Structure 1
Amino acid sequence: MSPSKVSTIAWDSFHNTVDGKPRGGKEKHRGVNPATGEELWEVPIANQQDVDDAVVSAQKAFESWSQVPMEKRKEQITKFKEHYLNYVDEMTDLLCEETGKPRQVAEMETKGVVGFIDFHLSLTLPEEREEDHEKVMLTRYTPLGVVGAICPWNFPIILSLGKVIPALLTGNTVIIKPSPYTPYTTLKVVELAQEIFAPGVVQAVGGDDKLGPMLTTHPNIQKISFTGSIATGKKVMAAAASTLKRVTLELGGNDASIVLPDVDIKKVAPELVMGAFQNSGQVCVATKRIYIHQDIYDEMLKEMVEFTKTIKTGAPGSNALLGPIQNKMQYEKVQTFFADSKAKGYKFAVGAPEVEQGKGYFIQPTIIDNPPNDSRIIQEEPFGPIVPTQPWTDEEEVIRRANNTNAGLGACVWGKDVERAERIGKRLQAGSVFVNSWEKPTPQAIFGGHKESGIGGEWGKEGIKAYCNAHVLHTYKQK
Structure 2
Amino acid sequence: MNIIGGAQRTSLDGNRSSLVDPSTGGTYGSAPISGAADIAAATRAATRASAVWGGATPSARSRALLRLADLLEANADRLVEAEVRTTGRRPAAFRGAELPHIVDVFRFFAGAVRNPEGIAAGEFVAGHESWIRREPAGVVAAIVPWNFPLMMAAWKVAPALAAGCTVVLKPAESTPTSAVLLAELAAEVLPEGALNVVCGGRDTGRLLVEDPVPAVVGFTGSTAAGRFVAAAASQGLKRVHLELGGNCPAVVLDDVDVTTTAEGILGAATFNAGQACASPTRIIATTAAYDGLVEQLAASAPSFRVGSPAEEAEFGPLNNVDQFTRVRSFVDEARSSGVRIVAGGAPVDRAGYYFPTTVVTNVDQSHPIVCEEVFGPVVTVQRVPDVAEAIRLANDTAYGLASSVWTRDHRLALQASRELNFGEVWINCHLAQSPELPHTGFGDSGFGSDMSRFSLENYTRVKAVTSKV
TM-score by shorter chain over 0.5 = yes
What does 1:237-276 correspond to in 2, within 5 Å? Answer: 237-276=230-269
1:307 corresponds to which of 288, 291, 300: 300
SS at match of 2:439: coil
Structure 1 partner of 2:339: 346
Of the structure 1 ranges 110-119 and 312-321, higher mean CA displacement relative to structure 2 is found in: 110-119
**Whole-Å Cα distance in 1 between the matches of residues 210 and 84 of structure 2?**
34
Quote the residue 1:394 is aligned against.
386
Q: Is residue 414 of structure 2 the alignment partner of residue 422 of structure 1?
A: yes
Aligned length in residues = 462
Shift of 1:275: 2.1
| Alignment partner of 1:159 is 2:159 | no
Unaligned stretches of 5+ in structure 1?
A: 1-14
Structure 1 segments of 4 or more deviating over 3 A? none
The answer to whether structure 1 residue 229 and structure 2 residue 218 are counterparts is no
- The 2-side partners of 1:210 and 1:227 are apart by 16
Match of 2:55 among 67, 90, 95: 67
Give yes or no for the alignment of 1:472 onto 2:464. Answer: yes
Instruction: Describe the SS at the equivalent of 2:440.
Output: coil
Within the candidate set 110, 117, 122, 1:126 is matched to: 117
Q: Distance in 1 between matches of 2:323 and 2:310?
A: 23
Q: Is the 8 A contact 1:338 1:355 kept in 2?
A: no
Equivalent in 63, 66, 74 of residue 78 of structure 1: 66
The partner residue of 1:332 within 317, 325, 349 is 325
Asked if 2 retains the 8 angstrom alpha-carbon contact of 1:126 and 1:140, the reply is: no
Q: Calculate the aligned-residue CA RMSD, in Å.
A: 1.3
**Correspondent of 1:366 among 354, 358, 362:** 358
1:130 CA displacement: 4.4
- After alignment, is 379-388 or 433-442 more displaced? 433-442
Say whether the 8 Å CA contact 1:129–1:136 is kept in structure 2: no
How far did 1:133 drift? 6.3
2:439 is matched with which residue? 447
Structure 2 segments unaligned to the other structure (5+ residues): none
- Quote how far apart the aligned CAs of 1:127 are: 3.5
**CA positional deviation for 1:57:** 1.2
1:90 alignment partner, one of 78, 85, 92 = 78
Aligned residues of 2:269 and 2:280 also touching (Cα < 8 A): yes
Distance 2:109 2:336 in 1: 49
**Residues in 2 aligned to 1:365 and 1:465: alpha-carbon distance in whole angstroms:** 39
Helix, strand or coil at the partner of 1:301:
helix
Aligned to 1:35: 23
Q: Match of 2:211? A: 218
Match of 1:4 in 2: none
**Paired AA for residue 91 in structure 1:** L
1:295-347 per-residue CA deviation (whole Å, 9 max, x = no partner) reads 12111111121111212210011121110000111111111111111110110
Provide the rounded CA distance (Å) in 1 between the counterparts of 2:405 and 2:247: 14
TM-score, normalised relative to structure 1 = 0.94
Query: Could you list the per-position Cα deviations for residues 444-465 of structure 1 after superposition, in whole angstroms to 9, with x for gaps in the alignment?
Result: 1111110110021121122211
Q: For the Cα contact (< 8 Å) 1:413–1:422, is it kept in 2? A: no
How big is the shift at 1:166?
Answer: 0.6
Partners of 2:157 and 2:107 lie apart in 1 by 14
* Overall identity of the aligned pairs, in %: 29
Matches of 1:237 and 1:148, distance apart in 2: 13
